[in-house]
Amino acid sequence: WDKAKEIGLSLLISPLFGFSMTIILMYIIRSLTKKSSYGDSLFKEPKKNSPPPVWIRSILILTCTLVSFFHGSNDGQKGVGLVMLILIGIVPAYFALDQSFLPSRLPESLARIEQIIKSIDSSPLSASDKAQLEEATAMNQRLQARFSTLMDIPSIPKGERFLVRKDIMVMERNLSEVAKRQDVKLSESEKTSLKEELKKVRKVTDYSPKWVLLMISISLGLGTMIGWKRIVKTVGEKIGKEHLTYAQGASAEMVAASTIGLSSYFGLPVSTTHVLSSGIAGSMVANKGVKNLQPDTVRNILIAWFLTLPVVMLMAG
């Protein structure tokens, strides 16, 4: 439920952030170009069948590229995660652990984790926390015994690879939860060290083959190539009552790229469409106020946003 709350907040806040930041950016661009000849070109509706000036085209290509790149970095993670979940579930012998990982990198981290575990006074902990700590200790010892003499990952018997994965992931979860407890007397340096060493150990489970990355990249690219027209027409012509100006398009794209990039950095999933369309709405409001929005389109987008999560949860169930 903690993860569900995190995702819910991310999906709720990102469109609001995109909407408000685009209004601010539009105001800044208008203020900076007010007295220059560029202002007229940026804030006037483009002429039909007339290409934009080279400098405006360059800005638009840059902002479009940034949106495309960060869209791939965020949505790509979802696709890769889903494919890896399927592969690990169906063929755990081959995909539960990274076959190319060098086991010699793990004993030192596991030994450091054991030292930190031993420094924890378990007497003030609750029964469930004690059980978690004991389970993590047993798993750490099993992993140390296994990796101390292991030459490579393929040497682990196929039937045991998923169990090794489980030990690593459950140990990491248990220790992360116990370390957060107020009763646990660990220094900040020890908590940081524990987090870093667990991250190093998780590298053997948190991976994806290059062919999966390539497959998802191509899928995203082909999907955009096939379905771009309807999205572009809706976003460009139906959210507002007037055609997008160059300033509006560039502002919305810059905000969308920044929002999606930051979300990817912090590991938060966002909807590119939510962020970009709310940015376009913000640019319309910045131009001529709320009356510049098309209420029917905005209503349909909002209904789609609110229905998507419960509907897909119901279908998945």
- N-to-C CA span, the chain: 16
What would the pLDDT profile of 131-190 be if each residue is shown by its tens digit?
999 999 999 999 999 998 888 999 999 999 999 999 999 999 999 999 888 888 888 898
Instruction: Please say whether the beta carbons of 153 and 97 come within 8 A.
Output: yes
Helix (H) or strand (E) holding 145: helix 127-147
Radius of gyration of the chain (CA): 25
pLDDT in tens, 113-126: 999 999 888 888 88
pLDDT of residue 39: 65
pLDDT, residue 229, reads 84
**Count of C-beta atoms within a 10 Å radius of residue 137:** 19
Q: What's residue 283's pLDDT?
A: 87
State both tokens at 227. 């379905």
Residue 40 φ then ψ, to 5°: -60, -45
Per-residue pLDDT 10s for the chain (317 aa) are: 887 888 888 878 888 888 899 999 888 888 888 777 666 678 787 877 788 888 888 988 998 899 888 888 888 888 999 999 999 999 999 999 999 999 988 999 999 999 999 988 888 888 998 999 999 999 999 999 999 888 899 999 999 999 999 999 999 999 999 988 888 888 889 889 999 999 999 999 999 999 999 999 999 889 888 988 887 777 777 788 778 888 888 888 999 999 888 888 887 878 888 888 888 888 888 877 778 788 887 888 788 878 887 898 899 99
The reported pLDDT for the residue numbered 173 is 93
> Is 2:265 a contact under the CB 8 Å cutoff?
no
Closest listed residue to residue 108, CA positions, set 206, 195, 192, 201: 201
**How many CB atoms are located within 10 Å of the residue 49 CB?**
5
